[in-house]
Amino acid sequence: MAVPSSLARDISPPRRLKRRKTSGIASPEEIYTPISNIEPTLAAIEAGKAKIDDHLAYFQSHLAKACRNTPPDVPRLSLGGFSELYHSNQHHRGHHFVIHQHNHPKAGVHYDLRLQFSESSSMSFAVPKGLPGNPNSRSIGRMAIETRVHNYWNHLIESASSKTGSLLIWDTGTYQVLPRKKEGRGIPSPQTSDDEINVSDSEDEISKSPAKTADGGKPENEKLISAFQTRYIRLRLHGTRLPKGYTIILRLPSNEIIKRPTARRKSKQKQHVPRQLGSDVDSDAEQSQVQEPDPEEDLDTDTEEDAQTRASNAYPGSTNDIGSIHQRHWFLQLDRQNSGFVLDQSGDEKGKWIRGKHGGGFEPFLVRGRDHERSVVTGRLAKEVESDEGVEGFVGRGGWVGIEH
At a CB cut-off of 8 Å and minimum separation 6, what does 315 contact? Answer: 48, 148, 149, 150, 151, 154, 302, 303, 305, 309
Task: Supply the pLDDT for residue 295.
Answer: 40
Interhelix angle 79-88/55-64, rounded to 10 degrees, is 170
Query: Which residues, in sequence order, are bridge partners of residue 100?
Result: 112, 169
Instruction: Between 21 and 361, name the one with better pLDDT.
Output: 361
The Cα–Cα gap between 12 and 174 comes to 65
Query: What does the pLDDT average to over 213-225?
Result: 83
179: amino acid identity, one letter: P
pTM for the whole structure: 0.76
The Cα–Cα gap between 309 and 148 comes to 8
Instruction: Between 184 and 323, name the one with better pLDDT.
Output: 323
C-alpha distance from residue 395 to each of 104, 160, 165 (Å) = 9, 12, 9
At a CB cut-off of 8 Å and minimum separation 6, what does 219 contact? Answer: 93, 95
Residue 184 Ramachandran class (φ > 0 left, ψ -120 to 50 alpha, else beta): left
* 3-class SS shares of the chain: helix, strand, coil, % to 5: 20, 20, 60
Q: What is the pLDDT of residues 244-288, one digit of tens each?
A: 999 999 999 988 876 554 444 444 444 444 443 344 443 333 344
* Least confident segment among 105-114, 193-202, 223-232, 262-271: 193-202
Task: Supply the pLDDT for residue 306.
Answer: 80
Instruction: Between 117 and 400, name the one with better pLDDT.
Output: 117
| In contact, 353 and 133? CB cutoff 8 Å | no
Task: Supply the pLDDT for residue 371.
Answer: 92
Instruction: Between 141 and 29, name the one with better pLDDT.
Output: 141
Task: Supply the pLDDT for residue 211.
Answer: 36
Which H helix or E strand runs over 57?
helix 55-64
Q: For the chain, first and last CA: distance in Å?
A: 109
Query: Which residues, in sequence order, are bridge partners of residue 110?
Result: 102
Using the predicted structure, report yes or no on whether residue 346 has a pLDDT greater than 90. Answer: no
The Cα–Cα gap between 224 and 218 comes to 10
Task: Supply the pLDDT for residue 223.
Answer: 98
At a CB cut-off of 8 Å and minimum separation 6, what does 338 contact? Answer: 178, 187, 234, 236, 245, 247, 279
At a CB cut-off of 8 Å and minimum separation 6, what does 343 contact? Answer: 280, 281, 351, 352, 353, 354
Query: What does the pLDDT average to over 309-336?
Result: 95
At a CB cut-off of 8 Å and minimum separation 6, what does 194 contact? Answer: none
The residue among 169, 208, 164, 215 whose CA lies nearest residue 190 is: 208
Specify the pairing of strand 232-238 against strand 165-178: antiparallel
Task: Supply the pLDDT for residue 164.
Answer: 85
Task: Supply the pLDDT for residue 5.
Answer: 59
C-alpha distance from residue 247 to each of 129, 161, 209 (Å) = 17, 33, 23
The residue among 228, 203, 223, 193 whose CA lies nearest residue 322 is: 228
Query: What does the pLDDT average to over 79-88?
Result: 98
Looking at 209-288, list the stretches that DSSP marks H as alpha helix, in order from N- to C-terminal side.
210-213, 220-229
Task: Supply the pLDDT for residue 255.
Answer: 83
Using the predicted structure, report yes or no on whether residue 326 has a pLDDT greater than 80. Answer: yes
Q: What is the pLDDT of residues 293-311, one digit of tens each?
A: 554 445 555 445 688 899 9
The residue among 299, 303, 304, 321 whose CA lies nearest residue 312 is: 321
Q: What is the pLDDT of residues 116-175, one digit of tens each?
A: 999 999 999 999 999 999 999 988 899 999 999 999 999 999 999 888 889 999 999 999
In this structure, what are the phi and psi dihedrals at residue 154, rounded to the nearest 5 degrees? -60, -20
* Least confident segment among 117-131, 194-208, 335-349, 377-391: 194-208
Query: What does the pLDDT average to over 9-22?
Result: 51
